[in-house]
Amino acid sequence: MLDRILIVEDDADIADLIRVNLMELDVEIDHQQEGESALQAALQEHYSLILLDVMLPKINGLDICRRVRERKPAQAIIMLTAKNSELDRVLGLELGADDYMTKPFSVRELQARVRSQLRKARALEQVIEEQRSTHQSQVIDIGILHIDKLHHQVKMKADTIDLTATEFELLLHLASHPNQVFSRSQLLESVWGYHHSGYEHTVNSHINRLRAKIESDATQPAIVQTVWGIGYKFNPQGVA
């Protein structure tokens, strides 16, 4: 079965360009030009990945991202934006996008990012299917932290923590290697599956979002800690 990608782009020429270049990846592609129909398709259909433009008629891409994330926490989303400010990029990430690209972008880089998200989606689906067939749940329990890989669920004590797919993978990677320090470049390669110079702040944004959800005080993190000048580590004492 081919991976399905939804392109949400109101500029037909840009959408056609993206479609032509992504067809090289042997995928099935749907296209929506305006926000309302795009939101309906995203919620009702199954897509391995959504390429979502920010500037859309009726409902903008940021609102679509937020509403899709509420209903489908594991949905892979790459934001496409013509805006060049750091604020717009960070806002997209804060609303739950897994990645973003600023127009104009390299076709090869777009293909690389799409491949990365599709690999993650396939890996997630494979894990779920394998675990369903064996009825074995894979979990990590460290203190009050419970990570269920099968159901993509995280709990602190009895409280369920809602994480996006990327936040979950980031926490899982760190918790699987307690006290090991990872640079931003290493996390990009391990969690996002790529490394492009200048995108390390993507890691920073996701770390901040993760802390806001799991730390009792995100300004003084006890679980996901910064090792100044190097990167980040998972501190098991923080959940003891």
∠182-186-191 over CA atoms, to 5°? 100
Strands 49-53 and 77-81 come out as parallel
CA distance 200 to 183: 9
Whole-angstrom distance, CA of residue 167 vs CA of residue 207: 8
The pairing of strands 153-156 and 145-148 is antiparallel
Query: Can you give the pLDDT at residue 135?
Result: 46
Most distant CA pair in the chain, distance = 54
Helices (H), 23-106: 35-44, 61-71, 86-94
CB 96 within 8 A of CB 166: no
Beta-bridge mates of residue 50: 6, 77
pLDDT tens per residue across span 46-100: 999 999 998 898 899 999 999 999 999 889 999 988 766 666 677 777 778 899 8
Answer yes or no: are the C-beta atoms of 98 and 164 closer than 8 Å: yes
Secondary structure element (H or E) that encloses residue 15, with its range: helix 12-22
Distance, in Å, from the CA atom of 218 to the CA atom of 52, rounded to the nearest integer, reads: 29
Instruction: Tell me the average confidence (pLDDT) per consecutive run of 10 residues in the chain, 240 residues long.
Output: 92 93 92 94 95 90 92 90 69 81 88 92 78 64 92 92 94 96 93 75 93 95 95 95
In the chain, the percentage of residues whose pLDDT exceeds 90 is: 65
**What's the token pair of residue 164?**
């996006």
Q: Are 121 and 3 in contact (CB under 8 A)?
A: yes
In angstroms, the first-to-last Cα distance of the chain is 44
Confidence (pLDDT) at 48? 94
d(CA 91, CA 6): 21
Average pLDDT, the chain: 89
